[in-house]
Chains A and B, each alone.
Chain A
């Protein structure tokens, strides 16, 4: 359910990948002009930026590293060039903070911008920066952070309102607990029975330990799909712990819940993975007692789960 909040990979990779040869051209230009001391840095940085592009393209989980590599390259380049610029005005001191804001999340970006401000402000020219230049820098970073900060609050809101567990597609623990509360209140108001099947998947833990997260997530997804297709509309599956699920069956007696449990266990054996064999369910049915409180029932369910997870003696 959580969306891709990352900048589009191909566009960013394109930027990084074309920047690398341009840095080489820049080094060549210094060579032609005879600035021999300034050739080394851009040529080295072109390698770093090319590495960042490759990293961005291949290792999605290492995208922060590639951002930092590009950022550091740009910092070094600006730092090496700023002292050579005559009559700079305020133009070039704005580049590093804006690049930082675009590449990093707003929090770390602002920290870096504040910490590095003395560097950027004192590098150009020989004298200390005028108050005017300092003020321009401050206003730029304060105003530029606003849209980025707004987006990060929106991302947090999205995470906080997300109902589903990203690995299995079932309800997340907080949403499950809330739904249980609602169903208990409904069962008590309408005088209906409520049963819950607590399900433990021993193979989920095993799959992760032996074959890695990917197999486990596929297993969990297949499991949730099977449960959802083989239960009634209105039954609720949620993930209470990494390998422990609760299936809420409103208006279901204990006997009917047991029948469902048998049926689901049979359906689960059809989920076959070569690594783990047919999927095995350890399940236990609990029924909401008359006038039982929400917290008491939830506690009972969690104890039932613990018992299921104990290794058989």
Chain B
């Protein structure tokens, strides 16, 4: 799903970058710099093959920054072009502490570089690099805001009816008001595949999307736990509907049914479900 809607980069881009780095590695005389280039090749190739989006790889930026520093340190004349990689490194998704380390490493690189330049060139380099780093920082701040909005977006994917955990609390409130007003019965069904597909964690969600009615909203709570708000005329009809859904889901499913006015936040329910062993657990309003 994620890749279908281009939520991550096409792997070909990473592979091209890795390939070009490899060519550079072949052209390089054996030595520390060629090692750095090969390490870069391996990193980009791994990024192309990994299924996880880059923002989970927190220390990646630091490793790449150290490789860039290595190239500049061992051969500033030949690899001088990499000094301009520093503003770009600030744009990688990274925690603030790593960003600070990248900034410090860029100063080290600049110091090494200014050694081999004439005074005039090194002055111009200092100014330009400082400006580019500031522009990079300005962009990094904008990207940070963007990532925040990505994290709290209500809908997980554009074409699948799959909502985020944040949206669930909002919808639960509305559904509770509606079921009280209309006299319908609503309940929250949480689901987890006992053996989730590691390469395709969204598989259960895709099945849910096609087996539920359009008004039964589906949510992706965390990596493996999904939820559906079931609405029926009464509790008996809800039970029939729940059984019908569970029957259509493939594989071994762990499920939990919880009333809409459950006081435990959905995120905690999802965590409890990851520990749950029994196939179906029902919290009725009377049992609480």
Contact = CB atoms under 8 A, between A and B. Distances in A.
A192 interface: yes
Contacts of B85: 94, 98, 140, 143-144
B268 interface: no
Contact of B231 (A15, A90, A142, A190): A190
B155 A163 contact: yes
B47 to A, nearest CB: 8
Contacts of B8: 150, 153
Given A22-B127, A101-B88, A157-B7, A163 B154 contact: yes
Contacts of A14: 134
Contact of A192 (B54, B142, B182): B182
Interface in A127-173: 131-132, 135-140, 142-151, 153-158, 160-163
Nearest to A164: B154
Given A22-B127, A89-B77, A99 B20 contact: no
15 contacts: A3-B146, A7-B141, A85-B121, A89-B76, A89-B77, A140-B81, A143-B85, A144-B84, A147-B88, A149-B9, A153-B8, A157-B150, A160-B5, A182-B217, A189-B213
Interface string B73-102: 000111111111101100111000000000
Interface stretch (B173-181, B190-198, B275-283): B173-181
B137 interface: yes
A138 B113 CA distance: 21
A233 B181 CA distance: 10
B221 interface: no
A6 interface: yes
Nearest to A74: B128
Interface stretch (B11-19, B202-210, B249-257, B258-266): B11-19
Interface in B212-250: 213-215, 217, 231-233
Interface in B55-88: 76-85, 87-88
Given A149-B13, A191-B233, 8 more contacts: A4-B142, A8-B141, A136-B81, A147-B93, A157-B5, A158-B149, A232-B181, A234-B174
A142 B81 contact: no
Interface of B: 5-9, 13-14, 16-17, 20-21, 23-24, 27, 40, 44, 54, 76-85, 87-88, 91-93, 113, 117, 121, 125, 127-128, 131-132, 134-139, 141-143, 145-150, 153-158, 161, 173-175, 177-178, 181-182, 184, 213-215, 217, 231-233
Given A94-B83, A182-B214, A232-B181, A131 B142 contact: no
Contact of A233 (B16, B79, B80, B174): B174
A12 B54 CA distance: 27
A146 B17 contact: yes
Contact of B154 (A131, A156, A161): A161
Given A144-B85, A146-B13, A190-B184, A132 B158 contact: no
A156 to B, nearest CB: 7
Contact of B215 (A93, A103, A189): A189
A137 to B, nearest CB: 7
Residue of B82, B142, B178 with highest tally of chain A CB at under 10 A: B142
A90 B80 contact: yes
Contacts of B79: 90, 136
